[in-house]
Chains A and B, each alone.
Chain A
Amino acid sequence: MEKLFIIAIGGTGMRCLESFTHLCAIGMFDNQEIEVLTLDTDSTNGNKKRAEDLISLYNQVKSSGNTIGGTPNANTFFSAKLNLYKYYTNYSGTGRENYKNITRISSGSPEVQKANKLVSDLFLDNNSVQEFNLAHGYRAQTHLGSMLMYHGIVEAARNIASGKDVKPEERALESFVTKIKVAGENARVFIFGSIFGGTGASSIPVIPKALQDFIQIRSGGKETIDFTKAKFGSTLLTEYFTFKKPDNKEKATKENSVIADSSFFPLNSQAALQFYQNDPTVQKSYKILYHIGWPIESKKIDEATSGHKTITGGATQKNPCHITELLCACAAYDFFTRKDGFDSAVAQYLYKAVEFEKNTFNFSFDDFVGNNNKAGENFANRLGAFFSLAHVALTVNGASTGDSGIKGFITRCEKQKLTQYSTITDTECIEINEYFKLFAYHFDNENGTVAFSPGWLYQVRNTVAPGAFLFDSKAFPDTPSELRKLDVGTLFNDDKYHWPKGGLFADRYGTFIDTLINSSPKDEQKVNTTKEKFLAHIYNAITASQNFNLN
């Protein structure tokens, strides 16, 4: 069986990881235990924290008793088990703040110093690139970033080999890379990151080679990762968002002398694509590269913020999710589930187009995962089922406004004399509610003002609205009055996937409850704990109600 690995790099990589985690939550990766590494230069980055918190919450939802993170299941929600590893290159200590300090350019004999300076000045601008603060990433300076990311990983390997001053994040990296090495030819490693920004763009070309060298250095040359066996894949994600252009005042200090300028993102993307096309290391180390881009004008991600300052990174960098990130997650799905295409000695490039008419995109389920083995219908069924359950928790049972959500649904089960789920605790129900809030929506109550806050799916849909996006536009209400009117059984565009209306006096939700009463978890779902059985039971009832032809 294939062993799956994900590496998420930089802000964009983290948001792709968010989308990937939601694909796991809807149940797209049955029977899998997936190792996930977050890799950044910025340990405090908001997008990184958001992705890591999401996986932690995912694992809490799957945990029961002593089984931390749960076990892999099939044909149910949260079916994959995710193991999270966190690594970041440390640029916070004294002497590690910028390129000049970290490379100790001014140490050694006068001749060595002179040679260091000449080589550095040849590639890197002396006053800006060599001296900006690295704590917020590589700021679109990919020539510097590739070198430093490689250096960071090799430095970690050397520390581990020597056993001196090994940091927890280096141990985490070691555990992750060792699993790739152990998996050998069964390893499928997919890397998320952009090619137009800073950290991801810097790292994607060097990561396979850096991990290979990590294993060699740590083992004293006895072990390696064989690129002809282990399969690496990645997205070539070109620019799809912009932000405010930094002004000269912002760039006045040396540590902020370089700030990524989104007006250069198209140029960065073009240069990166030429590089990927020609670089022999990339060609040799990757099996499949997925072209993903945004062919129309990019949206400003900081349009709604009032400040004038460009956010370079840190805890405040929490960009909203975009449909291209979901497409990247679906590229990982393709890479992990495909049976062929790995025989070529050089990287293959894959891409597809989506219908664009009257200035809007029209996405269908097949656009995301293809239609082999009814993948599109499976994706539609699972995403629709999870979205319906999110509305059942948030809208019907009021979790978005402080009511009990999933606990309320369990109360419903009790009222219908289905008491087998009554042992699920309030805390466990709150964790599931919290996951749904991040997935769909919630209401923030700040200083007495209640404001609608879109979750991942709402944010993704906003990037293509008013174009068609998988579900009926009525499935995305954002005011309390519209939410009260929502019929959770009618989320799809196509009527044939609506929950049955039932007979005289019946409604769709009532018919769904009847279906729930008459269904149960199955052995092939491999569910053991009460919570797993509960989720599998609901999955089966919604699947039956949606009536997709999955066989």
Chain B
Amino acid sequence: MTSYIIALIVAGAMILIAALISSAIQFKGGSHPKDPGQRKTWFWVIAVINPIVFFILGRFVLAPNPEDDQMVFDEYMKVLPIATGVGFVLYIVIGFVLSKIFRHGKLGHWF
């Protein structure tokens, strides 16, 4: 359960980073402004980074010590990939919802 909560927290943090980067990208002029594409690109780049960060965090920082209890460790390692996937999906779902809520703003460029 803890893994899923951490996946949610990491996804939230990543969404926050994506939102800050999107806000920091200024509106450009011209017939083919590049800023919407840049925001979308950053959203998906972070979408990819999100599971990597979570997995690395889960595997090397948060994982229980197998020498203490091998069964707990094995169980944890079974859940970690699922939680990573859940975190990835959560990131996209939260991003999609935010993009629709702020559809006229910069976050609207994510979807």
User: Footprint of B on A, CB under 8 Å?
Assistant: 392, 395-398, 403-404, 407-409, 411-412, 415-418, 504-507, 509-510, 513-514, 517
A388 → B minimal CB distance (Å):
13
Q: What is the interface of chain B mostly: helix, strand, loop, or mixed?
A: loop
Of the A-B pairs whose beta carbons lie under 8 Å apart in the complex, a sample of 22, sorted by A's number, is A392-B29, A396-B29, A397-B29, A398-B30, A403-B30, A404-B31, A407-B31, A408-B30, A408-B31, A408-B33, A415-B33, A415-B36, A415-B109, A416-B108, A418-B104, A504-B23, A505-B24, A506-B23, A507-B27, A509-B27, A517-B104, A517-B105
Task: Determine whether the beta carbon of A417 is less than 8 Å from that of B104.
Answer: yes
Task: Determine whether the beta carbon of A505 is less than 8 Å from that of B30.
Answer: no
Interface centre among B26, B29, B33 (most CB of A within 10 A): B29
Proximity bits, B22-40, A CB within 8 Å = 1, else 0? 0110110111110010000
Q: Which 4 A-B pairs have the closest CB atoms?
A: A404-B31, A396-B29, A397-B29, A505-B24
CA distance A409 to B33 in the complex (A): 10
Contact size range, B: 10 to 19
CA distance A415 to B23 in the complex (A): 15
Residue on B with the closest CB to A510? B27
User: Footprint of A on B, CB under 8 Å?
Assistant: 20, 23-24, 26-27, 29-33, 36, 103-106, 108-109
Task: Determine whether the beta carbon of B29 is less than 8 Å from that of A416.
Answer: no
Q: Which A residues lie within 8 Å of B36 (CB)?
A: 415
Interface centre among B20, B23, B104 (most CB of A within 10 A): B104
Q: Which B residues lie within 8 Å of A505 (CB)?
A: 20, 23-24
Task: Determine whether the beta carbon of A509 is less than 8 Å from that of B105.
Answer: no
Q: Which B residues lie within 8 Å of A510 (CB)?
A: 26-27, 106
CA distance A367 to B15 in the complex (A): 53
B100 → A minimal CB distance (Å):
10
Knowing A408-B33, A412-B33, A505-B20, the reply to whether A417 touches B27 (Cβ < 8 A) is: no
CA distance A411 to B106 in the complex (A): 14
CA distance A505 to B21 in the complex (A): 9
Task: Determine whether the beta carbon of B24 is less than 8 Å from that of A411.
Answer: no
CA distance A407 to B29 in the complex (A): 10
For the A-B complex, the count of residue pairs with Cβ-Cβ distances under 8 Å equals 51
Knowing A517-B104, A517-B105, the reply to whether A408 touches B29 (Cβ < 8 A) is: yes
Q: Which B residues lie within 8 Å of A408 (CB)?
A: 29-31, 33
Residue on A with the closest CB to B22? A505
Residue on A with the closest CB to B25? A505
CA distance A125 to B27 in the complex (A): 68
Task: Determine whether the beta carbon of B31 is less than 8 Å from that of A403.
Answer: yes
Q: Which B residues lie within 8 Å of A417 (CB)?
A: 103-104, 108
Residue on B with the closest CB to A509? B27
Q: Which A residues lie within 8 Å of B27 (CB)?
A: 412, 507, 509-510, 513
Task: Determine whether the beta carbon of A398 is less than 8 Å from that of B23.
Answer: no
B101 → A minimal CB distance (Å):
12
Checking A395, A396, A514 against B105 with a beta-carbon cut-off of 8 angstroms, the contacting residue is: A514
A513 → B minimal CB distance (Å):
6
B18 → A minimal CB distance (Å):
13
Q: Which B residues lie within 8 Å of A409 (CB)?
A: 29
Q: Which B residues lie within 8 Å of A403 (CB)?
A: 29-31
Interface centre among A416, A506, A517 (most CB of B within 10 A): A416
Q: Which B residues lie within 8 Å of A415 (CB)?
A: 33, 36, 109
Q: Which B residues lie within 8 Å of A412 (CB)?
A: 27, 29, 33
CA distance A147 to B31 in the complex (A): 56
Task: Determine whether the beta carbon of A507 is less than 8 Å from that of B26.
Answer: yes
B86 → A minimal CB distance (Å):
30
CA distance A412 to B26 in the complex (A): 12
Residue on B with the closest CB to A514? B105
A77 → B minimal CB distance (Å):
19
Residue on A with the closest CB to B24? A505
A231 → B minimal CB distance (Å):
46
CA distance A395 to B30 in the complex (A): 9
Q: Which B residues lie within 8 Å of A517 (CB)?
A: 104-105
Known: A396-B29, A404-B30, A407-B31. 4 other contacts (CB 8 A): A408-B30, A408-B33, A416-B105, A514-B105
CA distance A170 to B30 in the complex (A): 46
Interface centre among A395, A397, A404, A415 (most CB of B within 10 A): A415
CA distance A267 to B108 in the complex (A): 67
CA distance A403 to B30 in the complex (A): 6
Q: Which B residues lie within 8 Å of A509 (CB)?
A: 26-27
CA distance A397 to B32 in the complex (A): 10
Residue on B with the closest CB to A503? B23
Q: Which B residues lie within 8 Å of A404 (CB)?
A: 30-31
